[in-house]
Structure 1
Amino acid sequence: MELHVIERSANAFQQGLTERQILAVARRAFGPGTEVRSATELGGGMYNTTYRIDLGGREEPVVLRVAPEPDRQFHSEQELMRAEYASVPWLAPIADLMPRVLAADFTQAVIGRDWMIQSFLPGTPAPELLGSYPKETHGAFFRQMGEITASVHAVAGPWFGPVTGPGHARWSEAVVTSLRLISEDVEGCGLDAADLRKAADAAQAGAQVLDEVAVPRLLTGDLWTVNTMLAAAPVPTICGVLDMDRTCWGDPEADWTMRMARAKQDARLAFFDSYGRPEETEAGAWRRHLYEVRHLGALRLERHRLGNEAGVEDSYGAVAEELAALI
């Protein structure tokens, strides 16, 4: 087997597999006689460890995604791969854009970690190709993003919160629980989470405003440019969507995709040409401030995990601005 890895420090969050582990996974998925010709670790993601696997007797490569070890996962991010697997039937509206799940093993009996094998999507990662197109064509990309997001948000679910549960009858319960889990994780890293706890208290106090959201909708979790593949075409054309492991049930306005669509006054505003323009209300604006605190709390954790101390520090000022609009 040819093994190509990304060099990482011994204490890095993402940890690779040995040749023996990769072979064991492949044989668990495809049978004891399976031959692995090569395994190439892929970059781009910051959570799971991902490989392109070329198998003997199979023309098309496959993608192996391996979750972090259970004790390395934050409570607010536990079992994300299992959430993605459970989301597949609900993501039927965009099934033609997504990789197919070929095998999955959550027993942790083979390598002590959850893993999933998916089909290999053609195309080029959008971050590598989008910038090569003239800026006046970028609106086409974001209009497609709006269409994809709208089709996901159109799916109604059984409860608020994680796709795999525990579910909540009210949106306010799901938001408060999420903020408190993030707060606990931040404190577990030795960081101050008082601002996030204030936001959780504000969410509890504003439960009536949150509970105006009465229908749980499927949220993509973190869909944006980094999670898309582009086809070779005259204008940016999305041909694939990846890594839907942060899906949940909630208010579409709480989705990361909506946050990013509003982040700059540029070509991304074309997103709303196809998605539609949500009604602007005082209650909706208040909820968006709260959702932004949740996003910033999750970013604080990610930046800490990556050793980005300046980014962690910046998050406190950003949260303070949002809290000022909440309290």
Structure 2
Amino acid sequence: MTVASPTQRPLTTDDVTYLVRASFGPHTRVRDCGPLTGGGYATVWWILLADDRRVVLKLAPPAGTPLLRYERGLCAAEARYFRLVAEQAPEVPVPPVLHHGTDPAYGEWLVTGMLPGRSLYELAEAGATIDDGPARYDLGAALAAVHRVTGDRFGYEGERASGATWSAAFTAMLDALLADAADWDVRLPVTPDRLRTLVGRHAGALDEVRRPALLHFDCWDGNVLTAPGPDGRLRLSGLVDGERFLHGDPLLDLVSPLLYRRVEDEPEHPLLRGYRAAAPEPLVLDAAARRRLGLYRLHLYLLMTVEMPSRGMTARSHPGRHAQLAALLDAELAALGTD
């Protein structure tokens, strides 16, 4: 496979066979396999086993690979997320966890069942003319179901950024990204002090969130699988890549599905219609909610900027991405600064 990121590693079919047998036993046979593209963190392959099962192998970055602070332990986190959703929101289609293991030579890996369908991103890249409204409606309903699951603290699990309140956790998440930016010598279009001051200014809006809901965080189109339903319309068939999950404000999960857009400006978007139909409480997009959404977009664009060198990208090698993120950050900073 072509290694797209320093966090990914090349695999051979012999490597895949070894990891499959370490997962399912020495007599398990691989009939066919190949790499899955689209992600920039782990190495991912699809596998067809001799017993006709289709599975997905996800291999974590090698030990010692420089990562962002929130990316530590993501393989175990993904297994945890899928199990949580399967147990507490079983109506939401997530891959079944088949094996989570470690090996002295290969490190950590995860094997899940392979869900049917193609991602919304893949369909768009293929130039398919489709009505994706029903699938996005289903995504909204699925997120509402996931958000009914409650954690015992805000933020990430383990030793990563977290807090007793949402403002404390969100501030810790921001501080971790700023520390990553310093480590990787990433130049930001705003000073750390200005960012911290801005978040502190809106701490009251953040602390209107009193319940740490389970969040996927990364529901961009590449992680949303779809397939035709019985009526031929495109429906949700799976949520994948749950390794970045955390607990916090449900509004955070409405940012990535409308990447580079403002969900509050599209109240009749199918995602919101599906969410409203399934959520146990009304979806309120008042002034405080809009400020929080602005903070969450700011956090996401900051993350996407800071992660660039860890993925082998620079402002020189990817000038379009860098310029777009800088402009988006500036727009959110300006909007939040005038609220």
Q: What's the counterpart of residue 247 of structure 1?
A: 245
Q: Could you tell me how far 1:59 is from its partner in structure 2?
A: 1.5
What does residue range 80-159 of structure 1 map to in structure 2 within 5 Å?
80-92=74-86, 93-94=89-90, 97-105=93-101, 107-112=102-107, 114-129=108-123, 132-134=128-130, 137-159=131-153
8 A contact 2:92–2:146 mirrored in 1: no
Superposition deviation, residue 306 in structure 1? 5.1
Structure 1 runs (4+) greater than 6 angstroms displaced: 264-268
Query: Which sits farther off after the overlay, 185-194 or 115-124?
Result: 185-194
Partner deviation per Cα, 1:216-241 (whole Å, 9 max, x = no partner): 11111111322122223421111222
Write the mapping of 1:164-179 to structure 2, written as runs, cut at 5 A: 164=158, 166=160, 167-179=162-174
Matches within 5 A, 1:158-197: 158-164=152-158, 166=160, 167-193=162-188, 195=190, 197=192
Please point out which of 49, 59, 67 is paired with 2:52.
59
Deviations 1:184-226 (A, max 9, x none): 2222222124726222332234333321211111111111322
Q: Percent identity?
A: 27
Aligned partner of 1:224 in structure 2 is 220
Give distance in 1, aligned partners of 2:268 and 2:100. Answer: 35
Q: Which amino acid aligns with 2:299?
A: R
* TM-score under structure 2 length normalisation: 0.83
Contact 2:220 2:257 in 1 (8 A): no
Match of 1:49 in 2: 43
Q: Cα RMSD (Å) of the superposition?
A: 2.7
Q: Over residues 121-170 of structure 1, what are the superposed CA-to-partner deviations in whole Å (9 max), with x where a residue is unaligned?
A: 12233333466354xx3321221111111111121211101144554211
Return 5+ residue gaps in structure 2 as ranges.
277-281
Deviations 1:4-48 (A, max 9, x none): xx3237x74422223443233122111223333433111122221
> Which segment drifts farther, 239-248 or 311-320?
311-320
Q: 1:312 matched to which residue of 2?
A: 322
User: Residues of 1 paired with 2:267 and 2:254: CA distance?
Assistant: 17
Read off the aligned partner of 1:298 and give its amino acid letter.
L
Match of 2:217, SS state, is coil
Distance 1:156 1:17 in 2: 38
Q: Look up the match of 2:279.
A: none
Residues 39 and 89 from structure 1, CA distance in 2 versus in 1: closer, same or farther, beyond 3 angstroms? closer
Return closer, same or farther for 1:193/1:209 CA change in 2, 3 Å cut-off: same
* Corresponding residue SS for 2:75: helix
Cα offset, 1:300, TM superposition: 0.9
SS at match of 2:82: helix
- The one-letter code matched in structure 2 to 1:280 is L
Other-structure match for 1:16: 10
Q: State the number of aligned residues.
A: 316
Query: How far apart, CA to CA, are the structure 1 residues paired with 2:254 and 2:70?
Result: 15
Bigger RCO (CA 8 Å, 6+ sep): 2
| 3-state SS, counterpart of residue 251 of structure 2 | helix
Against the structure 1 CA distance between its residues 256 and 49, is the aligned structure 2 distance closer, same or farther, given a 3 Å change threshold? farther
Q: Which of these residues, 315, 334, 337, is aligned with residue 324 of structure 1?
A: 334
Larger helix fraction of residues = 1
Distance across 1 between alignment mates of 2:304 and 2:293:
16
Partner SS state of residue 279, structure 1: coil
What is the Cα deviation at residue 172 of structure 1?
Answer: 0.9
Structure 1 residue 209 and structure 2 residue 205: aligned? yes
TM-score by length of 1: 0.86
Residue 256 (structure 1) shift:
5.1
CA contact under 8 A between 2:219 and 2:256: conserved in structure 1? no
Structure 1 portions without partners, runs of 5+: 1-5
Q: 1:111: Cα distance to partner?
A: 0.6
Q: Which moved more, 1:302-311 or 1:115-124?
A: 302-311
Deviation at 1:86, TM superposition (A): 1.6
Structure 1 contact 228–242 (Cα < 8 Å) conserved: yes
- The verdict on how the C-alpha distance between 1:263 and 1:286 changes in structure 2, with shifts beyond 3 A counting, is closer
Q: Which residue number corresponds to residue 68 of structure 1?
A: 61
> Deviation per CA, 1:254-290, whole angstroms, max 9, x where unpaired?
2254661754777981211121263232222222221
Q: Distance in 2 between matches of 1:133 and 1:164?
A: 43
